[in-house]
Amino acid sequence: MKTFNVNTLHPVACFAIELIIGKEGGYSDDKTDQGGKTNFGISDARDGQCDGLIDINNDGQGDIVVKNLTYAQAAQIYYNDYWLKNCCEQLHPALALTVFDCAVNQGGSFARKALQRLAKTTIDGIIGPKTIATVNAIAVLTLLEKFNEARLKRYRRIVKRNKSQQKYIKGWLNRLRDIDERCVAIATFGFTDEQP
């Protein structure tokens, strides 16, 4: 099997994946993390089972011990399951980055439905041509502000529902602030291969 190389992707996808893997970090076994064991932010629970194995080929079965997941395997999962599945390649680069980060950190279904709410299209969690066309016709800075407000509210709801998650809120908010600043810069000045 050929090793996935993130550097062969479109520059925006490459940048987003490398940035988010950096934010997610390496192996973690935090007992209060609802995702269970994670590596590069990829959860043991992604196949519906907390069995110490990660499904890397989307067959619903664990394939590799969480600790042994490679950077390339994580990047491939991010590209297929979070970038492509959320139609990020069809969005303005600034919006694509925050939708991608949202899908990774808050769930793909939430990311897609939040985008549909902003577009005032059918909220079914499936991004289609109508949602893409509507979103791409709205000023990107307006979309970023509203989308990131929805993300902020979701973080607060998570903590309100489950107090054990309070310890994560500062990190989540710092992450959201950093992503928002990067997105505003991309929306204002354009995307370059040398993004900070």
pLDDT tens digit sequence for 65-88: 999 999 999 999 999 999 999 999
User: pLDDT digit string (tens) for 3-57?
Assistant: 888 889 999 999 999 999 999 999 998 888 777 789 999 988 877 777 888 888 8
Q: Which CATH number fits domain 90-196: 3.10.20.30, 3.40.190.10, 1.20.141.10, 1.20.120.420?
A: 1.20.141.10
| pTM score above 0.85 | yes
Burial class for 114, CB neighbours closer than 10 Å (0-12, 13-18, 19+): buried
Determine the pLDDT at residue 13: 97
Q: What's the whole-number average pLDDT of the chain?
A: 92
Question: Would you kindly state where each structural domain of the chain is located, as residue ranges?
Answer: 1-84, 90-196
Please state, in angstroms and rounded to a whole number, the distance separating the CA atoms of residues 50 and 174.
Answer: 28
